[in-house]
Every structure is written in structure tokens, then in C-alpha cells.
């Protein structure tokens, strides 16, 4: 790394096979996540093994053979699943109570508010914009800018020698670091409250800590409270005085705080909507990354930074507008499914059944129940 800092043409060489995995491909990861989501709340690594053994899936993803159980377990961890119990079942956070609450009560209402003024295209001809005459779309056109990040490795191409980005470093070769202080909070009377000791104090510039901050907010009995409950597990019975941590997190400074990103965007006249956690299917950029990386893999390998940069730019430019419009249909179907009250498992099933449709029929819940009649024991898993 120091040699690279001194001379950026001296690119490090590393072998990729033991570093990269097939599941790093966005297209494969997206397809696997959809499959696992359609299996229910709890899944196991064997579900992934079975998926890889289907000839159609092998042809789609370029598999020569199915994956082993050990590989499947490694992929589950990479995809964000974690072991639920010793029986080998895995679960992600897609249907966690807080995630579902945000999706249904925050994200979807915000999306529905702007949806009539968004653009969409006809299912039978993606080149023609679909005009919805049933809704009174008044006001300016709403353009949604999705954000996501991806890393292109030289190892993604045919030859395994490559280049990988490094943190910004100083002349001594050490990563540059900087301290970013938190913004002021506010007291119950509306006055600003600094979270750091002021100049002239014995601990000037130090963080005040929970005890001091709460005392300044008027909680004079705070010194009698413990810092936190055991294992961060508070009683959860509505009491705000079990520990300092619970009391602190119940303050308006923490409950109703706006992020720097939201504040900056709103200052320029833009609204910010955060996608629900564990819902990558709602961001069509994931598919754009997968398409671009397919193009990238077809480029000639190089150890030149200039060539690598050109390959990445050319691959991104290869994602045509019509391709993006086609990719945008998939998140629209998921959003429509959640609006109709489907959970993650039901939505994944419906998307497969009505592939290519912007919206799902109103009777989709009945169709799902007919396709998967639930017993008492099965209903727990959906």
C-alpha cells in the first residue's frame, strides 16, 4: 500500500479466487434473495442447495453444477441471514416488527403521496409512457433519484490480477482521520444544549455523557439510576426511568432528530425517503449494477488504473435507458404488493406469478390462499 501511495502506477496484485464469490454478483444475489423470501419467514441452507440444483437456474446463472451445503451456508451469511436456532434455520430482518412498521406506516404512505406524479411505462411497450387518467396528478412531475453503491474489482474480469481501492492516506502511509462533533441538542424549554463541555471547563471539548446531559434536561434524580439495563434489555413496559440509556433514547433529541442528509436535501427543495431495511428489491439500481458488471466482465483485464476506470465508465454507460425502465417495473410490483397488504413471502410469490406487470390484481390475496392453503402449524411461518 505504501508503494501505491508513492506511485499510483504500482498497483498491487492479488489472486481473486479465494477472495471473491459467485454470490458477489448482484444478479445472482437478487435472484437468490427473491427465492429465499418466497420460502417463508424461516429458511435453511438446504433451500439454497436445492435452488442451485435446478437445471433452469444453473443455465440462468452459469452454474456447471449445484453448490455444496457448506457453500450455501457461507452464502447465507453474505446475504445477511443469521442462524435462528440450532436446527439450521436462518432468518433475515425483512419481517421484523420495526421494519414492517416503517414499511407500512412511513415508506408506503410517502411513496403513495408522490406516486401519481411519477412516470411509468406501458407493460406491452416499454418505450411508451403510460398516462393514468384515473388519478388527478396535479403539480410538478416527481423524479425519484435512487441511491446505491457498488464496488467494481479488476478481479471481476476474466484474468484474476487486479486493483482494489484503499483509504485516503497521508504522507506517512496511515489513513487520514478526523473527528466530526455531534450537533447541539435542545433543552425542554427550547434552548440549545451543547453535548460537549465548553471552553474554560476542566474537560473542555469532552463529551458530557448521559448523566450530565440528562441532569441539564431537568432529570435531577438521574445519578440514582444505573447506566443501562443488563444486556441492553429494558423492561419495555413504558417506564422511562429504568436506566439512563432508556431515558436518553426517549428524549426528543433522539426520537425526532433529522439526519444531516435530510436537512441538506430539504434546504435545496428535495425530499428524502429511506427505503426499508432488508428491502433491496425496492431499489432497481441493484439490477443496473448487475447488468453493468456483466459488461465489465467482458472487458480485457488490466492492471492500469486508467484502463480500469475507463472499463467501469464504459460498463455503466452500457446500461441503456430502456433497460433501466424495464428494471424499474420490478420494484413497482413489490411496492404494489405491499400496498395490497402482502407480506414478504406473499409478495415474492406474487412477483413470480405476475412477472412483467406494474400492479397486481385485487384478488391476489385469494389467489395466494388458494395456492397455499394454510394449516394451523403452517400459518406461523408466513
What local confidence, expressed as pLDDT, does residue 378 receive?
33
Distances (CA, A) of 358 to 46, 92, 116, 135: 32, 26, 14, 16
Cell numbers linked to 87: 436446527
Over its C-alpha atoms, the chain yields an Rg (Å, rounded) of 25
Cell numbers linked to 73: 451456508
Distances (CA, A) of 348 to 98, 165, 331, 337, 354: 20, 36, 11, 9, 10
| Helix pair angle (344-353, 26-38), 10° resolution | 110
What local confidence, expressed as pLDDT, does residue 161 receive?
33
CA distance 131 to 135: 10
Q: Identify the CA nearest to 157 among candidates 306, 316, 295, 309.
A: 295
Q: What is the pLDDT along the chain (382 residues), one digit of tens a residue?
A: 455 445 555 555 444 444 567 777 777 887 887 777 777 666 788 888 888 898 888 888 888 888 888 888 888 877 777 655 444 555 566 777 888 888 899 999 999 888 888 887 777 777 777 776 655 556 678 888 888 776 666 555 433 333 344 556 777 777 767 677 888 888 888 888 898 999 999 998 899 988 899 999 888 888 888 888 887 777 765 555 788 888 888 887 777 777 888 888 889 988 898 888 878 788 888 888 888 888 887 888 777 778 888 888 898 899 998 888 888 888 888 888 888 888 777 777 777 776 655 555 555 555 655 655 543 333 322 2
pTM: 0.57
Cell numbers linked to 25: 454478483
CA distance 121 to 358: 9
Block residue for cell numbers 426520537: 255
3-state helix vs strand vs coil in the chain, percent to 5: 45, 5, 50
What local confidence, expressed as pLDDT, does residue 16 receive?
45
Residue 45 CB contacts under 8 Å (≥ 6 apart), including other chains: 69, 72, 73, 75, 76, 88, 90
Chain-centroid distance of CA 43 in Å reads 20
Q: What is the dihedral of CA 57, 60, 62, 64, to 10 degrees?
A: 30
What local confidence, expressed as pLDDT, does residue 77 receive?
79
- Are 163 and 305 contacting, i.e. CB atoms less than 8 angstroms apart? yes
Mapped onto helix, strand or coil, the DSSP state of residue 84 is: coil
Main-chain dihedrals φ then ψ at residue 126, nearest 5 degrees: -65, -10
Helix H or strand E segment including 232: none
Amino acid at each position: 500500500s505504501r508503494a501505491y501511495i508513492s506511485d499510483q502506477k504500482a498497483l498491487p496484485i492479488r489472486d481473486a479466487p479465494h477472495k471473491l464469490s459467485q454470490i458477489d454478483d448482484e444478479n445472482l444475489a437478487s435472484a437468490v434473495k427473491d427465492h429465499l423470501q418466497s420460502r417463508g419467514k424461516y429458511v435453511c441452507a438446504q433451500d439454497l442447495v436445492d435452488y442451485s440444483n435446478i437445471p433452469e437456474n444453473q443455465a440462468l446463472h452459469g452454474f456447471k453444477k449445484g453448490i455444496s451445503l457448506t457453500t450455501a451456508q457461507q452464502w447465507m451469511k453474505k446475504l445477511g441471514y443469521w442462524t435462528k436456532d440450532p436446527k439450521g434455520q436462518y432468518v433475515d430482518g425483512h419481517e421484523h416488527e420495526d421494519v414492517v412498521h416503517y414499511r407500512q406506516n412511513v415508506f408506503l404512505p410517502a411513496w403513495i403521496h408522490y406516486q401519481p406524479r411519477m412516470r411509468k411505462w406501458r407493460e406491452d411497450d416499454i418505450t411508451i409512457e403510460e398516462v393514468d387518467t384515473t388519478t388527478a396528478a396535479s403539480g410538478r412531475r416527481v423524479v425519484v433519484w435512487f441511491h446505491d453503491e457498488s464496488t467494481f474489482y479488476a478481479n471481476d474480469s476474466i484474468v484474476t490480477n487486479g486493483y482494489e481501492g484503499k483509504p485516503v492516506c497521508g504522507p506517512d502511509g496511515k489513513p487520514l482521520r478526523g473527528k466530526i462533533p455531534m450537533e447541539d441538542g435542545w433543552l425542554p424549554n427550547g434552548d440549545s444544549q451543547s453535548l460537549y463541555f465548553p471552553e474554560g471547563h476542566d474537560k473542555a471539548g469532552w463529551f458530557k455523557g448521559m448523566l450530565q446531559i440528562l441532569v441539564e434536561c431537568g432529570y435531577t434524580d438521574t445519578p440514582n439510576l444505573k447506566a443501562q439495563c443488563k444486556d441492553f434489555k429494558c423492561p419495555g413496559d413504558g417506564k422511562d426511568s429504568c436506566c439512563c440509556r432508556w431515558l436518553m433514547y426517549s428524549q426528543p433529541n433522539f426520537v425526532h432528530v433529522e439526519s444531516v442528509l435530510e436537512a441538506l436535501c430539504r434546504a435545496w427543495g428535495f425530499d428524502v425517503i429511506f427505503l426499508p431495511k432488508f428491502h433491496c428489491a425496492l431499489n432497481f439500481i441493484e439490477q443496473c449494477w448487475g447488468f453493468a458488471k456483466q459488461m465489465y466482465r467482458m472487458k480485457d483485464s488490466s492492471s492500469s488504473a486508467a484502463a480500469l476506470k475507463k472499463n467501469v465508465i464504459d460498463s455503466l454507460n452500457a446500461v441503456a435507458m430502456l433497460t433501466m425502465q424495464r428494471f424499474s417495473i420490478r420494484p413497482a410490483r413489490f411496492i404494489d404488493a405491499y400496498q395490497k397488504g402482502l407480506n414478504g413471502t406473499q409478495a415474492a410469490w406474487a412477483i413470480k406469478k405476475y412477472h412483467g406487470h406494474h400492479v397486481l390484481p385485487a384478488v391476489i390475496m385469494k389467489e395466494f390462499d388458494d395456492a397455499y392453503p394454510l394449516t394451523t402449524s403452517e400459518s406461523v411461518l408466513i
